[in-house]
Amino acid sequence: MLFNSFTFIFAYLPVVVVIFFILGKYRHHLALIWLLAASLFFYGWWNPAYIPLLLASIFFNYSIGRYLISQHGQQRPRQRHWTFILGITGNLGLLAYYKYGNFLVININNLMGTSWPLPNIVLPLGISFFTFTQIAFLVDAYRHEVREANIIHYGLFVTYFPHLIAGPILHHKEMMPQFSKKETFSINWENWATGLTLFTLGLFKKVVIADSISPFVNTIFSAASQQSHLHAADAWGGALAYTFQLYFDFSGYTDMALGISRILGIELPLNFNSPYKSFNIIDFWRRWHMTLSRFLRDYLYISLGGNRHGTLRRYVNLLLTMLLGGLWHGAGWTFVIWGALHGIYLMINHGWRHLWMKYSGVPAARWLNLAGGLLTFTAVVIAWVFFRADNIPSALVLVSSMVHPDASSPEVLFPLRSPVWRWILCLMCISFWAPNSQEILNPHQSPGILRWQPNLTWLILTILVLLYSLTHMELVSEFLYFQF
């Protein structure tokens, strides 16, 4: 079931919300059980066969986590340590089998000249997100940062439908207190107004903006996969179109997830904060998929040693972290290259920052920040080519066309160029200079003309945008991050 479907908007969501608050008025425990059941139903709508897998993962991690919590302060550190290793290994093994099984067999066959048959594996929806969520829980439990061990709260923490498929990746400490607050179970009309506005903005981004530019993206990348040489304008147009398609698709999902959750009285962590406004790649990763960046930093980069063992080791850790972050997105060499590029970008950025402060000692001038922002955006666009391309040769064709203006262009692409470029320039202006959803809804950040208020004017505007978005839902499409 998709957030941008009529079934979800007019059937599933109203039923879930109404029954949740009816039950919450009398029994909080029953309301949480209902929300857990509704979340499992939401997941099972895609493929009921994978509900047992999700439940098995939940009970496995809950059992490991409860043991780690119960043994806090006890005199069996080795047993506790190996139980933790078992939990992490189980999660990574599950992820490796379902997400990387085919990838490993293909590469072994290519490397060894063997002909092992490919296993018939269908990637369970959202497995990367619910696996990383539970790994974070186990690490927190092992570090003595988790105390609660309520199975209903834990099950809901993992399966909570607004975040289950494409994030944000949650911390245990962010969610558990909210499941225990009595305010969560009472209707808050300002939460409803804020949530509806966020959901509407997200739906508009997805169905009106991201889906509208998708056909041009598919045309360009399909031409590249057929090894067709593209004119530089078409190549850059395709790369930029995908850059903004992914931006508004993921931003739209994030807004919708946060909006749905706000209606239910539960706040999810911010996961997207105008990343193309970044002046450098370090800042980009503080703004793009913020909870994934947090996970990679707290549970991978720091565990590898972070910056505690010298400059060289720090750069190696950065590169390894981003390589694994790229592989997390997909089982393919294009994702590995994408991660490697961002690892190299981060190494260069940290090195430049160190040299600048060492020999200058003053903050960079505004013009230098602007130049850094342009360079950062260009580097991100080039990396997105590998992220989107079907394979490495396709990506290289597109990148080569981007840097060789004299390449030929298939005639079929010419009619699309002018309107698409106008669309791209419009989206560039929005992503570079317009306030984002969170800024509009924050009275301390948004400009006066766009400052949201729970009044009649904003209600009418929200309804009009919602109705307009609904007219663009003839063909329901998945969110791009569903494939990860």
Give the chain's largest Cα–Cα span.
74
Helices marked H in 330-413 — which ranges?
Answer: 333-359, 366-388, 392-403
Question: Which of 45, 199, 167 minimizes the C-alpha distance to 484?
Answer: 167
Q: Cα–Cα distance between 101 and 34 in angstroms, integer? A: 35
The whole-number pLDDT of residue 481 equals: 82
The whole-number pLDDT of residue 417 equals: 52
Average pLDDT over residues 456-474: 91
* Residue 101, pLDDT above cutoff 50: yes
Q: How many CA atoms lie within 13 A of 302 on its CB side?
A: 8
Higher pLDDT, 481 or 83: 83
The one catalytic residue among 171, 172, 231, 329: 329
Asked if 144 is an active-site residue, the reply is no
Average pLDDT over residues 311-339: 92
339-369 CB burial, b ≥16 within 10 A, e <16 = bbbbbbbbbebbeeeeeeeeeeeeebeeeee
Average pLDDT over residues 201-220: 93
Higher pLDDT, 195 or 416: 195
The whole-number pLDDT of residue 412 equals: 43
* Residue 20, pLDDT above cutoff 90: yes
Tell me how far apart the terminal alpha carbons of the chain are, to the nearest angstrom. 16
Q: Which residue has the tokens 């949650």?
A: 170
* Residue 475, pLDDT above cutoff 80: no
The whole-number pLDDT of residue 311 equals: 85
CA 385 vs. chain centroid, Å, equals: 18
pTM summary value:
0.92
- Give the lowest-confidence range in 24-38, 139-153, 187-201, 315-329: 139-153
* pLDDT tens digits along 400-448: 988 876 544 444 454 445 677 888 999 999 999 999 998 888 866 656 6
Question: Which of 124, 157, 162, 154 minimizes the C-alpha distance to 48?
Answer: 124
DSSP state of 210: I
The whole-number pLDDT of residue 479 equals: 85
Query: Can you tell me whether residue 267 is helix, strand or coil?
Result: coil
* pLDDT tens digits along 48-62: 989 999 999 999 999
The whole-number pLDDT of residue 414 equals: 45
CA 293 vs. chain centroid, Å, equals: 10
* Residue 189, pLDDT above cutoff 70: yes
The whole-number pLDDT of residue 448 equals: 67
Residue pair 287/274 in contact (Cβ under 8 Å)? The answer is yes
Higher pLDDT, 348 or 46: 348
Find the angle CA(255)-CA(163)-CA(322) to the nearest 5 degrees: 90
Residue pair 278/376 in contact (Cβ under 8 Å)? The answer is yes
Higher pLDDT, 328 or 112: 328
What average pLDDT does the structure give for the chain? 88
Which range has the top average pLDDT, 29-43, 77-91, 141-155? 29-43
The whole-number pLDDT of residue 411 equals: 43
Q: Tell me whether the omega of the peptide bond preceding residue 168 falls within 30 degrees of 0, making it cis.
A: yes
The whole-number pLDDT of residue 446 equals: 59
